[in-house]
């Protein structure tokens, strides 16, 4: 009973306060409308610093999760030497790499004839002809940025391009899966034909090109080279082979690009939401005095406008956004539209 009287007393006070506020707005409507819009736009200036977080691990894994901590510990304790003693098995994560899978179009042996020549050409294109120029006077190719071992770039699958490999294959001297008692061929080749532990043919070849990611300046150059690699490989056309490619953060880039590609649908959806809000708040009778269509339109407008100062303040504070933040206006509008119907 005591709580009920307390609630009633405070509810009346709050109701009187908002009643006075409503009458003040009704007396000077345009002043409040203009001031609200101007204030929202001023607070939205922080959007010039808007940044999106595209790393899927950062987006979906809990902060300070044990798996990430354990990996950071391993990376700090077992640091790979990218300069001249790089070992693939020393990586605590996937590292920085660009990868190609080359397959034969007609299903023939890719390790012989024109198909093999195209593999060599693609390899030379990646290692020698893909260049970046961070400054007008300097150019960097893969050989400048690669992770090295004994002054040689570490390329997974490079053994397939050795001068004696084609001849050994034709003469039946390539053992499979272990070649020369040290080279495991099974991760490099796909759809192989083997007879008496001798490799006869294969339809697919996988090659991975490792890059340096330390120090930070080298990491930025490697990232720039990978972007150029992605562009060149996307435009590459071959005669007898097909090329698929990827790189260490291709999934993050693909998710980011695919979400932005559907941005035009956002505008269409907002239009549909305005139409829905106008219909749902119109009431049962078609009466210009009774219906509340403008209330629905204003509700949609306010929900979208409220995102501007909120995102502006957060961006000014250095907060990064996920692509899914675009659904927030629709959640706000949907909730605001459902409440009147529930009360009714």
Predicted local distance difference test score (pLDDT) of residue 341: 47
Q: Give the Cα separation of 281 and 296 in Å (integer).
A: 6
pTM comes to 0.71
Cβ atoms of residues 129 and 235 within 8 Å: no
Residue 219's alpha-carbon distances to 4, 74, 318, in angstroms, are 64, 19, 23
Predicted local distance difference test score (pLDDT) of residue 160: 94
Give the number of residues written for the chain.
344
Predicted local distance difference test score (pLDDT) of residue 49: 87
Q: In 10 A of CB 187, how many CB atoms?
A: 11
Using one digit for the tens of pLDDT, what is the confidence trace for 170-229? 999 999 999 988 899 999 999 999 999 999 999 999 999 999 877 666 778 888 999 999
* Residue from 91, 215, 97 nearest 146 by CA: 97
Using one digit for the tens of pLDDT, what is the confidence trace for 310-338? 888 988 888 887 766 666 666 666 665 55
Q: Give the Cα separation of 288 and 269 in Å (integer).
A: 26
Residue 151: left if φ>0, alpha if ψ -120 to 50, beta else—which one?
left
Cβ atoms of residues 226 and 98 within 8 Å: yes
Provide the angle, in degrees to the nearest 10, between the axes of the packed helices 328-343 and 263-280: 10
pLDDT by 10-residue block (mean), the chain, 344 residues: 70 84 89 90 88 76 82 77 76 86 91 93 94 85 90 92 92 92 92 93 95 76 92 93 92 74 69 71 57 66 80 87 67 59 44
Predicted local distance difference test score (pLDDT) of residue 326: 63
Predicted local distance difference test score (pLDDT) of residue 343: 42
Q: Give the Cα separation of 113 and 122 in Å (integer).
A: 15
Predicted local distance difference test score (pLDDT) of residue 324: 65
């Amino acid at each position: 009973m005591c709580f009920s009287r307390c609630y009633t007393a405070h509810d009346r006070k709050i109701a009187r306060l908002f009643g006075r506020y409503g009458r003040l707005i009704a007396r000077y409507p345009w002043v409040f409308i203009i001031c609200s819009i101007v204030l929202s736009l001023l607070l939205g200036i922080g959007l010039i610093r808007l940044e999106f977080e595209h790393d899927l691990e950062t987006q979906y894994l809990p902060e300070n999760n044990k798996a990430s901590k354990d990996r950071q510990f391993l990376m700090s304790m077992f640091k790979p030497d990218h300069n001249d003693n790089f070992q693939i098995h020393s990586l605590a994560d996937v590292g920085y790499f660009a990868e190609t899978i080359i397959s034969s179009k007609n299903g023939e042996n890719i390790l012989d004839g024109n198909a093999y020549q195209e593999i060599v050409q693609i390899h030379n294109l990646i290692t020698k002809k893909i260049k970046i120029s961070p400054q007008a006077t300097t150019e960097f190719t893969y050989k400048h940025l690669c992770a090295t071992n004994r002054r040689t770039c570490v390329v997974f699958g490079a053994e397939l391009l050795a001068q004696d490999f084609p001849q050994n294959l034709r003469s039946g001297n390539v053992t499979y899966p272990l070649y020369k008692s040290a080279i495991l061929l099974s991760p490099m080749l796909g759809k192989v034909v083997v007879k008496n532990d001798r490799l006869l043919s294969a339809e697919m070849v996988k090659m991975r090109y490792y890059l340096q990611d330390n120090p930070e300046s080298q990491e930025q150059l490697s990232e720039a080279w990978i972007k150029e690699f992605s562009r060149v490989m996307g435009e590459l056309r071959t005669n007898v082979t097909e090329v698929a490619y990827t790189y260490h953060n291709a999934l993050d880039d693909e998710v980011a690009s695919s979400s932005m590609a559907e941005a035009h649908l956002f505008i269409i959806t907002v239009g549909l939401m305005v139409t829905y809000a106008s219909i749902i708040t119109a009431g049962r009778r078609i009466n210009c005095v009774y219906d509340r269509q403008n209330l629905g339109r204003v509700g949609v407008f306010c929900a979208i406008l409220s995102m501007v100062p909120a995102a502006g303040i957060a961006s000014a504070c250095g907060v990064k956004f996920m692509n899914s933040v675009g659904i927030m206006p629709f959640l706000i509008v949907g909730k605001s539209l459902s409440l009147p119907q529930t009360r009714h």
